[in-house]
Amino acid sequence: MIFDTHAHYDDAAFDADREELLGGGLQAGGVGLVVNIGTDLKTLHQTIELTERYPYFYGALGIHPDCVDGLNEEHLPILRQMLLEHKKMVAIGEIGLDYHGDYERDIPLQKKWFKWQLRLARELKLPVVIHSRDAAADTMEILKAEDAGSIGGVMHCYSYSVEIAREVVKMGLYIGIGGVLTFKNGRKLKEVAAETPMEQILLETDCPYLAPTPYRGQRNDSRNIALVAQELAQIKGITLEEVLRITEENARRFYKLW
């Protein structure tokens, strides 16, 4: 069974055929569980709606570092309330730091939101889904300072070095791996996958983004995780079935879905 630990089916890229895909297409393609990940306070209700409509959907709610502008500490109780009221919300995410690109960012505000949400996760006993792009040093510093290992978390769409991956694994966090693993220029991630214990890998799409080869550049969906799993099977020298079984167990343990 495919367990997609990180998807964005509320994205407008699915507007034309969402019901067709989520109401049958995904399951026909071997998908058994999906966690839809929120990003922006204004659109978090869309994740909740998806989990109410589709029994095999669960949700994560959080403020993405690109979406913190204009939000302050007074907005935190809104997120807290949504997480408490909706039983199918299994994590806080995606949260973290994003310094990518050369446009102006409020980095102090990103850091505040990252810390506030880590503390909220500890309070509510939920794991966190971490987004970190071009911000390795600051991310690791905050994760260590907040003792994220004791909260539980995944470094989603892992994009850093093998050395940092070792630290992440040592903290007890998971490494999230998706379509990039199949890319020609995905050598660094293949090294990370080879080094990371199977028990600490979660498979994800980040759909509609990051479709694996040979669909690179097209709209992604959870069925394509089979291609990522195939690549991982080759790297690890085990069967596709074993990869799917172990990563499903990992995801169930991570999101407490048994």
**Could you tell me which stretch among 111-119, 141-149, 159-167, 202-210 binds Ni ion (CB under 5 A)?**
202-210
- When binding is defined by CB under 5 A, the residue of 206, 221, 231, 248 that contacts Ni ion is 206
Place of tokens 């990003």: 39
Tokens, residue 126: 């939920």
**Could you tell me which stretch among 41-49, 200-208, 213-221, 224-232 binds Ni ion (CB under 5 A)?**
200-208
Based on CB atoms, which residue is closest to Ni ion, 206 or 221? 206
Based on CB atoms, which residue is closest to Ni ion, 61 or 163? 61
Q: Compute the least distance from the CB of residue 158 to Ni ion, in Å.
A: 12
Based on CB atoms, which residue is closest to Ni ion, 49 or 242? 49
Q: Is 11 left (phi over 0), alpha (psi -120 to 50) or beta?
A: beta
Distance of CA 110 to the CA centre of its chain: 18
Based on CB atoms, which residue is closest to Ni ion, 220 or 240? 220
Q: Looking at beta carbons, which residue is closest to Ni ion?
A: 206
String of contacts with Ni ion for each residue 154-193, x by CB under 5 A: ----------------------------------------
Q: Compute the least distance from the CB of residue 210 to Ni ion, in Å.
A: 9
Nearest residue to 6 (alpha-carbon basis) of 189, 131, 143, 139: 131
Phi, psi of 44 (to 5 degrees): -60, -30
Scored b (16 or more CB within 10 A) or e, 174-197 reads: bbbbbbbbbeeebeebbebbeebe
**Could you tell me which stretch among 79-87, 96-104, 177-185, 204-212 binds Ni ion (CB under 5 A)?**
204-212
Q: Compute the least distance from the CB of residue 37 to Ni ion, in Å.
A: 5
DSSP secondary structure string for all residues of 114-145: HHHHHHHHHHHT--EEEEEES-HHHHHHHHHH
Based on CB atoms, which residue is closest to Ni ion, 206 or 248? 206
The answer to whether 39 and 10 have CB atoms below 8 angstroms apart is no
**Number of shown-chain residues binding Ni ion (CB under 5 A):** 1
Based on CB atoms, which residue is closest to Ni ion, 197 or 217? 217
Helices (H), the chain: 18-20, 26-28, 44-53, 76-85, 107-124, 136-145, 162-170, 187-195, 225-236, 240-255
Q: Compute the least distance from the CB of residue 94 to Ni ion, in Å.
A: 5
Strands of 153-155's sheet in order across = 2-7, 31-37, 57-61, 89-98, 128-133, 153-155, 174-177, 201-203
Q: Compute the least distance from the CB of residue 65 to Ni ion, in Å.
A: 11
Based on CB atoms, which residue is closest to Ni ion, 4 or 206? 206
**Could you tell me which stretch among 53-61, 65-73, 183-191, 199-207 binds Ni ion (CB under 5 A)?**
199-207
Residues 6+ apart with CB under 8 A from 17: none
List of residues contacting Ni ion (CB under 5 A):
206
